[in-house]
Amino acid sequence: MERVKACGMPAVARWRTLPLERQLHWLLRFGVVGCFLGHGAYGLLAKEAWASYFGVVGGLEIVLAIAVLIAPLPSLLLGICLWKMGTETLFMTSGSLPFEWIERAGSYMAPLALYFLVVTNKRKKGGQSCAH
């Protein structure tokens, strides 16, 4: 594939020149960031008295979203995946059915998918496979 200069090209044309792996990387990266910004904002805006800790959780999720946007490190992505699995499990403690945890799989599977993409890319480039 011939390289195309990015200067002066419309964004869609530049996007089409990216390899599929890079397109997937950016789609997953923006998906994770959007999920965490949305959940974080909701946590900050929660007004229920019993959910006062939502503000702290919401603030942390916004910080994590910014961290993924800046540098999606493998250890950060695994930590985010575990964090979301844990926070989504909290819904069951409030009486929700286990299906609710499965229904929210996108919240923890997108960071996991991005993790595998980042690690696979490092292996292809000759970097350490488990470098966190």
- Token readout for 56 is 């702290």
Which structural domain, as residue segments, surrounds residue 100? Answer: 73-132
What's the rounded Cα separation, in Å, for the pair 40 and 95? 22
pLDDT band for 124, please (50, 70, 90 cuts).
confident
Distance CA 65, CA 77 (A): 10
Q: Are residues 80 and 122 both part of a single domain?
A: yes
pTM exceeding 0.85? no
User: Under 8 Å CB-to-CB from 37, ≥6 apart: which residues?
Assistant: 61, 62, 65
19 falls within a domain: no
Please check whether residues 48 and 99 belong to one and the same domain: no
Give percent of the chain with pLDDT exceeding 90. Answer: 45
Same domain? 65 vs 79: no
DSSP code for 50: G
**120 inside domain:** yes
User: What are the tens digits of pLDDT across the range 6-30?
Assistant: 567 788 888 889 899 999 999 999 9
What digits encode the pLDDT tens for the residues 59-106? 899 999 999 999 999 999 999 999 999 988 887 887 888 888 899 999
Number of domains in the chain: 2
Tokens of 38: 């949305």
Query: Could you tell me if residue 17 is inside a domain?
Result: no
- Under 8 Å between Cβ of 97 and 40: no
